[in-house]
């Protein structure tokens, strides 16, 4: 029937409608142009220049450092491992937090949302220095434990993987909470009670009904936190040590201290490629349409 109706419409009418739709699209497309120009000028061009310098300053031998020295490969593995641990910590903390935000009343939800947003309201440098005050040997935590008689010697809470994980997890936790919470709000609140009314225990109703529908938010939060963790610099530099140096610290040292701009560019290109590969891996091996489902449900 739709085909017959379309055949009865005069050709010039269809052409006029098509022309109007095209002009309307062109007028909206102009709104995208400033953003595209900004991205090209401040993202694409610098990355292209960095990639060119990595091959020309002094030459492609910048990339041979991964073959000649195992240091860079070890640091890259440390970075990936730290990013994985931070992502896991954020997931274990963020999922229950988002679930509580969903279940409490609107006022408490607003309060919990403000609390998790507090890290965005201050500088990363300020937050990291605050953690040094808390975690150092003479810091608040060790002093409190000593005064309570729990410990006799200060605990090593920073200059190690623990300090880096705590600082990065604190900063990145909102990037896990809000994608999960956004997906949870789209889940019908009647599904779990319906499963329980059919005889399912509460834990089974949660695992079989609620959890599968929240997985898109989990996937989005995991990818977001993991990718952001790979490029962290300030927090690992202040709370970490040479034994757990992050890859971004190596890049900065090559450029600012050793003035090896070509080698630093090569390291940055390697980190970018690893990030893109991990993103492709996540998109490739997650269930088809999982992340897109989180944006459309």
pLDDT of 149-199, one tens digit each? Answer: 888 888 888 888 999 999 999 999 999 999 999 999 999 988 888 988 888
pLDDT of 19 reads 53
- Tell me the C-alpha to C-alpha distance, in Å, between residue 45 and each of 37, 50, 157, 248: 10, 9, 41, 20
CA distance linking residue 264 with residue 257, whole number of Å: 11
**Is residue 31 domain-shared with residue 109, that is, in the same domain?**
no
**Is residue 10 domain-shared with residue 73, that is, in the same domain?**
no
pLDDT of 256 reads 85
**Is residue 15 domain-shared with residue 111, that is, in the same domain?**
no
List pLDDT tens digits, range 208-245: 999 999 999 999 899 999 999 998 888 998 898 888 88
Domain limits for position 162: 67-296
Higher pLDDT, 36 or 66: 36
Give domain status of residue 246, yes or no. Answer: yes
Per the confidence metrics, is the pTM higher than 0.75?
Answer: yes
With a cut of 80, say whether residue 73 has pLDDT above it: yes
Give domain status of residue 162, yes or no. Answer: yes
- Tell me the C-alpha to C-alpha distance, in Å, between residue 293 and each of 103, 172, 212, 255, 297: 22, 23, 12, 42, 6
Give domain status of residue 121, yes or no. Answer: yes
The residue with tokens 């440098």 is: 125
With a cut of 60, say whether residue 290 has pLDDT above it: no
Give the mean pLDDT of 254-283: 86
pLDDT over 70, % of the chain: 87
**Is residue 229 domain-shared with residue 200, that is, in the same domain?**
yes
- Tell me the C-alpha to C-alpha distance, in Å, between residue 37 and each of 29, 50, 214: 13, 19, 36
Give domain status of residue 61, yes or no. Answer: no
Q: Which residues of 27-64 are buried (b: 16+ CB within 10 A; e: fewer)?
A: eeeeeeeeeeeeeeeeeeeeeeebbebbbeeeeeebbe
Examine the fold and report which residue of 32, 56, 80 is the final residue of a domain before the chain moves on. 56
**Is residue 52 domain-shared with residue 71, that is, in the same domain?**
no
CA distance linking residue 156 with residue 145, whole number of Å: 13
Give domain status of residue 183, yes or no. Answer: yes
Q: How many domains does the chain have?
A: 2
Give domain status of residue 129, yes or no. Answer: yes
**Is residue 42 domain-shared with residue 109, that is, in the same domain?**
no
Give domain status of residue 62, yes or no. Answer: no
**Is residue 50 domain-shared with residue 130, that is, in the same domain?**
no
Axis crossing angle, helix 71-103 with helix 161-184, rounded to the nearest 10: 40
Give domain status of residue 48, yes or no. Answer: yes
Q: Across the chain, what does the average pLDDT equal?
A: 84
**CATH number where 90 lies:** 1.10.3720.10
pLDDT band at 296, cuts 50/70/90? Answer: very low
**Is residue 238 domain-shared with residue 281, that is, in the same domain?**
yes
């Amino acid at each position: 029937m739709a085909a017959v109706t379309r055949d009865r419409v005069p050709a010039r009418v269809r052409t006029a409608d098509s022309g109007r739709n095209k002009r309307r699209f062109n007028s909206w497309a102009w709104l995208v142009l400033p953003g595209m120009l900004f991205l090209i000028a401040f993202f694409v061009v610098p990355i292209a220049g960095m990639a060119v310098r990595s091959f020309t300053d002094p030459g492609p031998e910048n990339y041979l450092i991964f073959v000649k020295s195992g240091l860079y490969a070890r640091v890259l593995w440390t970075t990936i491992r730290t990013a994985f641990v931070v992502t896991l910590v954020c997931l274990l903390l963020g999922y229950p937090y988002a679930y509580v935000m969903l279940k409490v009343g609107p006022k408490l939800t607003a309060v919990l949302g403000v609390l998790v947003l507090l890290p965005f309201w201050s500088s990363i440098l300020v937050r990291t220095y605050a953690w040094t005050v808390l975690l150092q040997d003479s810091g608040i935590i060790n002093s409190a434990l000593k005064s309570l008689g729990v410990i006799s010697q200060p605990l090593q809470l920073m200059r190690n993987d623990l300090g880096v994980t705590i600082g990065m997890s604190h900063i990145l936790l909102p990037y896990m909470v809000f994608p999960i919470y956004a997906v949870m709000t789209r889940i019908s609140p009647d599904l779990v009670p319906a499963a329980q009314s059919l005889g399912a225990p509460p834990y089974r109703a949660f695992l079989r009904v609620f959890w599968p529908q929240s997985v898109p938010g989990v996937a989005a939060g995991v990818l977001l936190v993991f990718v952001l963790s790979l490029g962290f610099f300030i927090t690992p530099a202040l709370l970490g040590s040479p034994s757990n140096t992050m890859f971004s610290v190596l890049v900065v040292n090559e450029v600012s201290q050793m003035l090896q701009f070509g080698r630093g560019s090569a390291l940055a290109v390697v980190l970018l490629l690893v990030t893109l590969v991990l993103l492709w891996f996540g998109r490739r091996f997650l269930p088809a349409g999982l992340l897109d489902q989180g944006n459309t449900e």
